[in-house]
Structure 1
Amino acid sequence: MVDTTAKTIGIGLIGDGLMAKEHSMAWRNVRAVFGDLPLEPRLVTLVHPTLDRARAAAQQYGFERASESWQDVVNDPEIDVINIVTPNAFHEEVAIAAARAGKHVWCEKPLALTAAGARAMTEAAEAAGISTQVGFTYLQNPGIVLARQLIDAGELGELISFTGFFSADTMIDPEVPYTWRTDRARAGGGALGDLGSHMISIAHHLVGGIGRVSGLTKTVVTERTDAHGIRHSVDNDDYSLTLLEFSNGTIGSMQASRVSVGRAFEVSFTLTGTRGAIRFSQQDSHKLEVSLASDALDTHGFRTIELGPQHGLYGALWPMSGINIGLHELKIFEVKKFIDAIAAGTTSSPDFREAWEVQKVVESIEESDRLRSWCEVS
């Protein structure tokens, strides 16, 4: 039986697209996965500037009402959390207004169009004392949780190298329409900002801060036609390749692509140290491959750890090992972490400050590409 005495938190969702669907599913299913919660989410209002679209999405996703004004929702006393799933260009204005209104903020990545924007968001949130969280979803995967534990336990020794890939083929077809994601004014970076930011967040989480970068970007499909038949130049990248030098001396590389023929969707990394190595792929999210010096010499090489209830939040979903955990389920983990942080009066992780650090790296890679030289991450 639902605890009707539980305190609720009102949710205002800004946006109606794919990520709005994913976030709504997470808010609606967090109790089903975790049982009793310190705060019960109440889906109050969904916002889109076209009211008919807002009403249709609110009905589909289970919100009580719809609005065409995010400003009204930010200032609504029934709403405690502003959940931002808009095109990237709107993150900064909405988040700062929400912080000043005392609302907690869960924002999709990348945090802002620029590092300066991400800093402004971070400073506003910290001044207001609100809880923040940013949608670097893969950090919730039990495999990455286990990887962090192995690193902390010294099982990998001194870290040597990190290699990460986020590859997709979503934009290889030149007939894919021009949208906000291919418009720098609304999206910022292309594959680098959208996909590469995820890989930077993983690298930060496992290895540490990145000191300097050397990057190249490329736009493969240089023109696209929008839904109205108007032709546009694409002014952000389809592909990026970056060398990384971490502050602790680890070196690495990272690729982000939305034009990877043959790879519909791949998020993977290899991390190597002096005493061991780990490999992970989101497409095989039920396992972590490890090779450790503590393994017997006659079994040298990578072996597979089947992830299970003992790893991260896996057990909230399944009582047995070896089952893939998808992105929708990882979003539920994000919601649980955010609710717990709000209830405890803390920020979540990754928060705005962590996402600001990611944005600094993205900006430095783009600067490196322009200058054709190494750039410090400041």
Structure 2
Amino acid sequence: MTQHPIGVAIIGDGLMAKEHSMALRNVAPVFGAAPVEPRLSLIVHPDPARAEAAARRYGVERWSTSWQKAIDDPGIGLVDIVTPNSFHREVAVAAARAGKHIWCEKPLGLTLEDAEEMTRAAEAAGIVTMTGFTYLHNPGIALARRMVEAGELGEIFSFSGFFSADTMIDPEVPFTWRTDRSRAGGGALSDLGSHMISLARHVLGPVSRVAGLSRTVVEERTDAEGVRRRVDNDDHTQALLRFENGAMGTMQASRVQTGRAFEVSFVLTGTKGAIRFSQQQSHLLEVSLDSDGLDTHGFRTIELGPEHGHFGALWPMSGINVGLHELKIFEAWELLQAIREGRPAKPDFHEALMIERTISAIERSAADDGAWQSVG
């Protein structure tokens, strides 16, 4: 594969900057070559000490305190946005207008209106966009979707999904940008639930109507200056989903789920079979099919392997767990391949906007005591 270099500017210096830089550096070792060669050219943070430290840590050539440097630099072809959500729109719209490809962490925008503006700008510019719904790249999800499309589960009528964590059950966990609606937008629903909506849409298609309830369990937290602040987004949200194909579903997103350090899972049920998936057992997919026969009723375990998704790029044998860092490499591969081929990446800004519309409808429902809302 002939490589063509592309300069990358990472906007932000936190955990996802670490994740993205690792992914971009490891595409070539994992896949043998990168579709285009990503060069970590610039990293940006408004604090010069943090920007310089991030450049050293992540192996980036240069640093700056201004994201505008990335927009103005003709050597930058890909802008990688890993900032708090409140900065996504401004950076993405400017990058799109400058004709630069964009990789943006989820959720797409602080608000639905931001997401719509970002998508319009990207589509008008004809650039490649990617949004960070990492779990979609799991080999088990590739197999689940293949089985649904082949009709092996029959008519799908039920989806039940969970993204549960206990990261904020302790009231002493400090107030951060994630608990501030002005910087994060939604809470557990937007941060965690968006992943579950992305998975539901991927295997079942669009959601038409929703009904949701939300609660802020820990209503106040102390910020870095010792000031008590009100948490104004949700800690825990549950929703009912009605899909366009007639299937029904339930979804839970929680950052205060005692006993669940980190759980991403779903059950998909049809008239001829069912699937159970858990990211914590990401080398497995549990399947029950009517064709297995009554004498073997129940779920059986499929050990995922090289024939499923991009698993074979990592391992030549089956049954080895695939972690989040590795899924991010698959995500980076998809983005770079889309850039090389001049096609939309999956999932792009348009898909992320559809997820944002679903989130917005759930929030409207929760504000109206769970009344059903159309996604639109």
Q: State the partner residue of 2:103.
A: 106
Q: Which runs of 5+ in 2 are unaligned?
A: none
- Deviation for aligned residue 1:296: 2.8
Alpha carbon RMSD of aligned pairs, Å? 0.9
Rounded Cα–Cα distance in structure 2 between residues aligned with 1:144 and 1:243? 22
Query: Cα deviation per residue 1:252-308 (whole Å; 9 max; x = unaligned)?
Result: 100000001110000000000011100000000010000112213321111000000
Rounded Cα–Cα distance in structure 1 between residues aligned with 2:217 and 2:351? 31
Rounded Cα–Cα distance in structure 2 between residues aligned with 1:243 and 1:264? 24
Aligned with residue 162 of structure 1, among 153, 159, 163: 159
Q: Does 1:129 align with 2:126?
A: yes
State the SS of the aligned residue for 2:367. helix
Return the letter of the residue paired with 1:7: H
State the SS of the aligned residue for 1:289. strand
Q: State the partner residue of 1:80.
A: 77
State the SS of the aligned residue for 1:294. helix
Q: Does 1:139 align with 2:139?
A: no
Rounded Cα–Cα distance in structure 1 between residues aligned with 2:226 and 2:313? 47
Rounded Cα–Cα distance in structure 1 between residues aligned with 2:124 and 2:267? 38
State the SS of the aligned residue for 1:189. coil
Query: Cα deviation per residue 1:1-57 (whole Å; 9 max; x = unaligned)?
Result: xx9x73201000000001110001101111110112231110000000111100100
Rounded Cα–Cα distance in structure 1 between residues aligned with 2:296 and 2:318? 23
Q: State the partner residue of 1:175.
A: 172
Return the letter of the residue paired with 1:376: S
Residue correspondence of structure 1 range 199-210 to structure 2 within 5 A? 199-210=196-207
Q: State the partner residue of 1:16.
A: 13
Rounded Cα–Cα distance in structure 2 between residues aligned with 1:215 and 1:181? 21
Aligned with residue 322 of structure 2, among 318, 325, 328: 325
Q: State the partner residue of 1:248.
A: 245
Q: State the partner residue of 1:362.
A: 359
Rounded Cα–Cα distance in structure 2 between residues aligned with 1:299 and 1:20? 47
Return the letter of the residue paired with 2:48: L
Residue correspondence of structure 1 range 27-106 to structure 2 within 5 A? 27-106=24-103
Return the letter of the residue paired with 1:248: N
- Deviation for aligned residue 1:228: 1.3
- Deviation for aligned residue 1:75: 1.7
Normalised by the size of structure 1, how large is the TM-score? Answer: 0.98
Q: State the partner residue of 1:277.
A: 274
- Deviation for aligned residue 1:116: 1.6
Rounded Cα–Cα distance in structure 1 between residues aligned with 2:10 and 2:304? 33
Q: Does 1:25 align with 2:22?
A: yes
Rounded Cα–Cα distance in structure 2 between residues aligned with 1:85 and 1:223? 26
State the SS of the aligned residue for 1:118. helix
Q: Does 1:335 align with 2:332?
A: yes
Q: Does 1:312 align with 2:309?
A: yes
State the SS of the aligned residue for 2:168. coil
Rounded Cα–Cα distance in structure 2 between residues aligned with 1:72 and 1:42? 16
- Deviation for aligned residue 1:212: 0.6
- Deviation for aligned residue 1:182: 0.2
8 A contact 2:27–2:33 mirrored in 1 = no
Rounded Cα–Cα distance in structure 2 between residues aligned with 1:116 and 1:133? 18
Return the letter of the residue paired with 1:182: T
Rounded Cα–Cα distance in structure 2 between residues aligned with 1:41 and 1:61? 13
Aligned with residue 187 of structure 1, among 169, 174, 184: 184
- Deviation for aligned residue 1:230: 1.3
Q: Does 1:295 align with 2:286?
A: no
Query: Cα deviation per residue 1:90-122 (whole Å; 9 max; x = unaligned)?
Result: 111110100000000000000012222111111
Q: State the partner residue of 2:374.
A: 376
Q: State the partner residue of 1:7.
A: 4
Normalised by the size of structure 2, how large is the TM-score? Answer: 0.99
8 A contact 2:35–2:333 mirrored in 1 = no
State the SS of the aligned residue for 2:258. coil
Rounded Cα–Cα distance in structure 2 between residues aligned with 1:228 and 1:162? 43
Rounded Cα–Cα distance in structure 2 between residues aligned with 1:287 and 1:150? 15
Q: State the partner residue of 2:348.
A: 351
